[in-house]
């Protein structure tokens, strides 16, 4: 499959390069998402059989002050990609986020639940979703959450860095979701792109997160246990850890449709965590 990927050094793009080295990868130097027309031109130039958008503006707190830029990258650029893919008759797999929801309640969010983003990042990602759907081509919008890997910036690497100098940490325990390995997201994107080529009727919005759901404090405890780091974790409410952008308390995602339609089950984050830690600190 001739594949074009927007993204190169991000967590998911890095895993995609490992799984599909033959694909063409466009980093910022080759496709600046702040210029949507350049994204469309890149697709025309590559003439691929499928496109995966693994690039985004992901600085959640900074987006509160840079919403126009985030909106261009997360909203206008994916829209331009989707319109071009629709014109060429090729599928697009676009990665989105649980932040499009209000983050309330305790029930896992279903793909067709009402959206109500509570911060700038969520609003810009929702704009991208709307643009992809409106383009009318074959597509899969894959909402995910709590992405972790041995690459880039993520919760696992932050916990390990803090554990180098601290033996006790206070971690939020009222935000609940499924830590999702970037490698599993990459594998899911490749599978979806291939299946959409064969059956565009599978187009739609899907959810994908790691199992089982957990809070941040408990996830931190698992990281330290697997890594053999003697760190004491104290759970605290979100109210005691204010951030510029509000965070959802409920990031649970109902992933039933993803498994039913594409045959892709939720990944086991505990098992993936062992692999991630081995990559970070090989023995």
CA-to-CA separations, 183 to 147, 148, 160, 238, in angstroms, rounded: 10, 9, 19, 29
pLDDT tens-digit map of 17-73: 999 999 999 998 899 999 999 999 999 999 999 999 999 999 999 999 999 999 999
pLDDT tens-digit map of 204-259: 999 999 999 999 999 999 999 999 999 999 999 999 999 999 999 999 999 999 99
Give the pLDDT score at 1. Answer: 59
Tokens of 15: 């895993």
Give the pLDDT score at 47. Answer: 96
Give the pLDDT score at 282. Answer: 67
**Whole-angstrom Cα distance, residue 84 to residue 44?**
8
**Whole-angstrom Cα distance, residue 228 to residue 222?**
10
Tokens of 245: 């952008």
As annotated, the active-site residues are: 121
Tokens of 246: 């509000």
CATH T-level assignment (fold) for domain 3-154+178-212+252-266: Rossmann fold (3.40.50)
pLDDT band at 94 (very low <50, low <70, confident <90, very high): very high
Closest CA to 171 of 125, 256, 72, 240: 240
């Amino acid at each position: 499959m001739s594949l074009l990927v927007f993204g190169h050094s991000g967590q998911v793009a890095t895993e995609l390069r490992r799984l599909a080295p033959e694909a063409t990868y466009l980093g910022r130097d080759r496709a600046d998402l702040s210029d949507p027309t350049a994204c469309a031109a890149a697709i025309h130039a590559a003439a691929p059989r499928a496109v995966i958008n693994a690039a985004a503006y992901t600085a959640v707190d900074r987006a509160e002050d840079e919403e126009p830029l985030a909106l261009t990258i997360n909203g206008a650029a994916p829209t331009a990609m989707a319109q071009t893919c629709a014109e060429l008759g090729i599928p697009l797999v676009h990665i989105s986020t649980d932040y499009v929801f209000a983050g309330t309640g305790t029930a896992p969010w279903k793909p067709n639940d009402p959206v109500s983003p509570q911060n700038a990042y969520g609003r810009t990602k929702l704009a991208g979703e709307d643009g992809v759907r409106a383009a009318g081509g074959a597509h899969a919008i894959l909402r995910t959450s709590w992405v972790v890997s041995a690459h880039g910036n993520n919760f696992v690497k932050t916990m390990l860095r803090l554990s180098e100098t601290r033996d006790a940490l206070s971690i939020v325990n009222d935000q609940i979701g499924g830590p999702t390995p970037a490698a599993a997201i990459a594998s899911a994107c490749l599978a979806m792109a291939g299946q959409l080529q064969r059956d565009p009727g599978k187009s739609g919005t899907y959810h994908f997160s790691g199992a089982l759901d957990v809070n941040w404090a408990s996830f931190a405890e698992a990281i330290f246990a697997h890594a053999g780091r003697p760190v004491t974790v104290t759970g605290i409410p979100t109210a005691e850890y204010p951030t510029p952008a509000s965070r959802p308390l409920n990031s649970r995602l109902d992933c039933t449709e993803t498994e039913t339609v594409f045959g892709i089950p939720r990944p086991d984050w505990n098992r993936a965590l062992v692999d991630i830690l081995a990559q970070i600190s090989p023995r």
